[in-house]
Amino acid sequence: MPLDGIDTQVTALNARYRHHGATAVMETALRDADLGRIALVSSFGAESVVLLHMVSVMDRRLPVLFIDTEMLFAETLTYQMELTERLRLENVQVIRADRSALFERDNENLLHLHDPDACCHLRKTEPLQRALEGYDSWITGRKRYQGATRTNLDFFESEAGLRIKVNPLAHWDKGDVADYIAENRLPRHPLVSRGYPSVGCAPCTTRVNDGEDPRAGRWRDLDKVECGIHFAGGRLVRSGATEQTPG
């Protein structure tokens, strides 16, 4: 896929699928040769089962990249293994940080206490960027309702002209997610029923109170709303082909 045409391609894709739904966008992502080699990046978190189920129906051989930060809840690791088996996903790849980098920069596993951005970069962003080398596009589960940084999210984004990001569920709300899970009798992440509508690493995720933003429990009391894997060139990727805001 020619890299110099990614921004133009993203604009065209968003125009073409403006009035389409998640399934149509997902099917397009998996069959459109212009999107090139593609993978799903999944946290196996609170709402991940929706896209994972779609993959199991459309192409269970699709690469699914799961970032194990080695600071996840035990429930997430168990859920990942159980869901992989239940949905018969054939190509789940567990991605971890480089061992020498961990030893050099976070030998005592305390980096998150004084520099959570650096911790996310070490344990999430760097491993994912290495894993995505050779891919032309990747699928995410981000949705507009998940917070202020996502309110204008489009189905397709340009990742700084490097590759295309596909957000099939961009226009879904909490009700859509709940309905899909219920209608397909899919298992929820075990922490959801315990007050975690968004699940990240254990040290940086807390329960969410009634009426709070679903992501309020992520990096609570810190000036931080994203882990960094949706940053390009140090800037948060927003909707459209080129619109970005500082991270």
User: Average pLDDT, stretch 28-44?
Assistant: 93
Contact 56, 87 (CB under 8 A): yes
Confirm whether 227 is a catalytic residue.
Answer: yes
Q: How large a percentage of the chain has pLDDT more than 90?
A: 69
Q: Tell me if the domain spanning 3-246 has CATH number 3.40.50.620.
A: yes
Nearest to 225 by CA among 137, 139, 116: 116
Most confident of 89-98, 105-114, 210-219: 89-98
**242 to 153, 210, 226, 230: CA distances (angstroms):** 12, 35, 19, 13
- The rounded distance, in Å, linking the Cα atoms of 89 and 55 is 8
Most confident of 144-148, 190-194, 228-232: 190-194
How confident is the prediction for the chain on average, in pLDDT? 86
Q: Taking the model in full, what pTM does it have?
A: 0.85
Annotated domain spans of the chain: 3-246
User: Average pLDDT, stretch 131-159?
Assistant: 85
Model confidence at 144, pLDDT cuts 50, 70, 90, reads confident
Burial tier of 19 (Cβ tally within 10 Å: 0-12, 13-18, 19+): exposed
User: Average pLDDT, stretch 104-116?
Assistant: 93
Model pLDDT for residues 60-105, shown as the tens digit of each residue: 999 999 999 999 999 999 999 999 999 999 999 999 999 999 999 9
Query: How many C-beta neighbours within 10 Å does residue 225 have?
Result: 17
Residues sharing a CB contact under 8 Å with residue 75, sequence separation 6 or more, in sequence order: 189, 190, 191
48-52, 110-114, 242-246, range with the lowest pLDDT: 242-246
Considering the candidates 119, 120, 204, 227, report the single residue annotated as catalytic.
227
- Examine the pLDDT at 244 and tell me if it is beyond 90: no
Q: Sheet containing 244-246: give its strands across.
A: 231-232, 235-237, 244-246
∠ CA 9-236-171, nearest 5°, is: 60
Residues sharing a CB contact under 8 Å with residue 84, sequence separation 6 or more, in sequence order: 92
Residue-level pLDDT at 221 = 66
Contact 36, 61 (CB under 8 A): no
